[in-house]
């Protein structure tokens, strides 16, 4: 279970990383629409998993791999932005959040079932 401090810092990182990727993301992954969906941080605040969603991309893992290759540079630049808010900038890793894909698949299944019942 996350502490109140972990939740607060995770939410702060989520908001600021989202803004950072909007401004600077094209330098790392090109012209793609990337959204930060969730952030998980360890109790010691040293490691941070950032979950992203990539819209209209057939291979979203390539975007996450690109971000992970540049994680050191992103951490340094993000640390300059967050210097006033965080004492320690955690090590970051990017992961694909496929929960939206699951929701879309379930909606399609329910729609198909509903269409069969109405026919």
Q: What is the pLDDT of residues 47-79, one digit of tens each?
A: 999 999 998 888 889 999 999 999 999 999 999
pTM to 2 decimal places:
0.82
Query: Residue 99 is part of a domain; what is its CATH number?
Result: 3.30.300.20
Mean pLDDT of the chain: 90
Confidence of residue 38 (pLDDT cuts 50, 70, 90): very high
pLDDT at residue 55 in the model: 85
Identify the residue with better confidence: 119 or 5. 5
Residue 112 structural domain:
4-118
What integer is the mean pLDDT of 25-30?
88
Whole-number Å distance between alpha carbons of 69 and 115? 45
Count of domains forming the chain: 1
Place of tokens 């950032």: 50
Q: Are 51 and 96 in contact (CB under 8 A)?
A: yes
Give the pairing type, strands 91-96 and 47-55: parallel
Strand order, beta sheet including 91-96: 33-41, 47-55, 91-96
Beta strands in the chain (DSSP E): 33-41, 47-55, 91-96
């Amino acid at each position: 279970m996350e502490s109140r401090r972990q939740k607060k810092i995770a939410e702060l990182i989520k908001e600021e990383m989202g803004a950072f990727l909007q401004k600077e993301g094209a330098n790392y992954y090109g012209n793609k629409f990337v959204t930060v969906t969730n952030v998980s941080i360890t109790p010691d605040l040293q490691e941070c998993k950032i979950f992203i969603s990539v819209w209209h991309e057939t291979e979203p893992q390539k975007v996450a791999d690109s971000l992970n290759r540049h994680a050191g540079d992103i951490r340094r630049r993000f640390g300059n932005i967050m210097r006033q808010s965080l004492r320690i900038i955690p090590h970051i890793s990017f992961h694909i959040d496929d929960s939206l894909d699951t929701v879309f698949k379930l909606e399609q299944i329910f729609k198909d079932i509903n269409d069969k019942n109405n026919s």
